[in-house]
């Protein structure tokens, strides 16, 4: 009819719907990111909730959820009081001592060699960056009202994320069942069920692995730096632990900052560098593969591509979500490929021959 191919029209409508969906995702990217963080937070608390749910004689998960949240808030407040105050003190001390350390390092072993020239260039860049940041702070003073609103909105998100995670933990199984009911019984519903099961394993392994890797990095860095007498040991350990949540680029940034601070303070810069390299080998090739398990199985080149691509698309949020998104794409590809191979290899019914 009207010279329009029906199949081509179907493909055109599908492409148009995909474009509209991508546009909606772009418009709602902040809201979607908040919901994704809530889901990840729910996966982080789910082991504790499941453990408490086994021992509480109730028909609903609400008491277990409430007790889990009380325990989490108590642990967070305790760690904030014990570690957070020391991190703030060391950060304040670092801000005061850094200019003097730069001047002192600048006068060490003067010469005209290539290494000395590189050292002077590095120091000049550091001083320029510090002065630039100081001027930025002064220029932002006039925009204090806007900054206050931004911080207030961030605080609102911090409150909303645990609330959303509470509902995800409470009604997660019902939500999964409703999603399955959107598809009729058959191969497609079976495929969706398998994808959701793989996604559940992926997110559970990924979040638990990130938390354990972050705690391991914080503990190892803080203990080693304290033993070696490196100043700001807890601050540097906290920096390394927090940046573990950003794949590849986070640990690299933390390593450069730690070596730079250790070198400027004259505290065994070479020993710190050797320790960081040894720890990265242990974590990247032994600890991380063991913790990730079957949830995340991506080639390092693919991870690098996802990290840089996610940073260009959505900044830090894109970098943080790049690995689970790539792992989800891999799951979809493998499941669809398996379903097609199964359908292709399935025996075709033969017609009965009557005499």
Domain map (residue ranges) of the chain: 28-97+152-182, 184-342
Helices vs strands, H then E, count in the chain: 12, 0
pLDDT at 144 over 60: no
Of 203, 169, 159, 172, residue with least CA distance to 48 = 169
* Number of Cα atoms under 13 Å in the Cβ half of residue 251: 21
pLDDT at 138 over 50: no
Write down the mean pLDDT value for the chain. 78
What is the pLDDT at residue 279?
93
Q: What is the residue-wise DSSP string for 168-212?
A: HHHHHHHHHHHHHHTS-TTHHHHHHHHHHHHHHHHHHHHHHHHHH
Residues 6 or more apart from 275 whose CB is under 8 A from it?
224
Cα 306 to Cα 323: distance, rounded to the nearest angstrom: 7
Q: What is the pTM of this model?
A: 0.75
Of 280, 262, 177, 189, residue with least CA distance to 225 = 262
As given in the structure block, the two tokens for residue 85 are 């105050």
Name, of 36-45, 104-113, 334-343, the range with top average pLDDT.
36-45
What is the pLDDT at residue 99?
73
pLDDT at 137 over 50: no
Cα 164 to Cα 37: distance, rounded to the nearest angstrom: 9
Query: Helices in 28-113 by DSSP H: which ranges?
Result: 29-55, 62-79, 85-106
Cα 305 to Cα 315: distance, rounded to the nearest angstrom: 14
As given in the structure block, the two tokens for residue 208 are 């638990």
Residues 6 or more apart from 271 whose CB is under 8 A from it?
228
* Longest CA pairwise span in the chain (Å): 104
Cα 285 to Cα 279: distance, rounded to the nearest angstrom: 10
What is the pLDDT at residue 248?
79
Cα 285 to Cα 44: distance, rounded to the nearest angstrom: 24
pLDDT at 229 over 70: yes
Instruction: Report, as an integer, the average pLDDT of 206-230.
Output: 91
Instruction: Report, as an integer, the average pLDDT of 147-172.
Output: 72
pLDDT at 352 over 70: no
Whether residue 321 contacts residue 310, with contact meaning beta carbons closer than 8 Å, is answered with yes
Of 180, 208, 170, 185, residue with least CA distance to 291 = 208
Name, of 110-114, 225-229, 319-323, 347-351, the range with top average pLDDT.
225-229
């Amino acid at each position: 009819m009207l010279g329009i191919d029906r199949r081509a029209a179907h493909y055109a409508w599908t492409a148009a719907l995909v474009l509209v969906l991508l546009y909606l995702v772009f418009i709602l990217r902040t809201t979607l990111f908040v919901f994704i963080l809530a889901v990840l937070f729910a996966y982080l608390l789910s082991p504790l909730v499941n453990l408490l749910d086994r021992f509480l004689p109730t028909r609903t998960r609400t008491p277990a959820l409430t007790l889990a949240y009380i325990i989490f808030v108590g642990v967070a407040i305790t760690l904030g009081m014990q570690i957070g105050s020391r991190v703030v003190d060391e950060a304040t001390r670092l801000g005061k001592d850094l200019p003097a350390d730069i001047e002192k390092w600048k006068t060490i072993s003067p010469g005209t060699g290539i290494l000395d020239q590189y050292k002077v260039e590095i120091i000049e860049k550091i001083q320029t960056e510090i002065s630039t940041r100081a001027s930025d702070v002064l220029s932002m003073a006039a925009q204090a009202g806007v900054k206050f609103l931004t911080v207030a909105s961030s605080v609102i998100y911090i409150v909303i994320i645990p609330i959303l995670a509470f509902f995800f933990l409470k009604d997660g199984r019902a939500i999964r069942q409703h999603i399955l009911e959107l598809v009729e019984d058959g191969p497609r519903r079976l495929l969706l069920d398998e994808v959701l099961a793989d996604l559940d394993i992926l997110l559970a392994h990924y979040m638990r692995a990130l938390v354990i890797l972050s705690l391991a990095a914080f503990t190892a860095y803080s203990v080693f730096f304290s033993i070696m007498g490196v100043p700001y040991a807890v601050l540097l350990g906290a920096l390394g632990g927090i940046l573990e949540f950003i794949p590849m680029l986070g640990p690299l940034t933390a390593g450069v900052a730690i070596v730079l601070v250790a070198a400027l303070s004259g505290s065994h810069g070479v020993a710190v560098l050797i320790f960081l390299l040894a720890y990265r080998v242990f974590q990247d090739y032994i600890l991380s593969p063991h913790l990730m398990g079957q949830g995340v199985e991506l080639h390092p080149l693919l991870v690098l591509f996802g990290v840089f691509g996610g940073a260009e698309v959505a900044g830090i949020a894109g970098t943080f979500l790049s690995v689970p998104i790539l792992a989800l794409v891999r799951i979809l590809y493998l499941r669809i490929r398996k379903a097609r191979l199964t359908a292709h290899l399935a025996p075709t019914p033969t017609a009965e021959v009557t005499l």
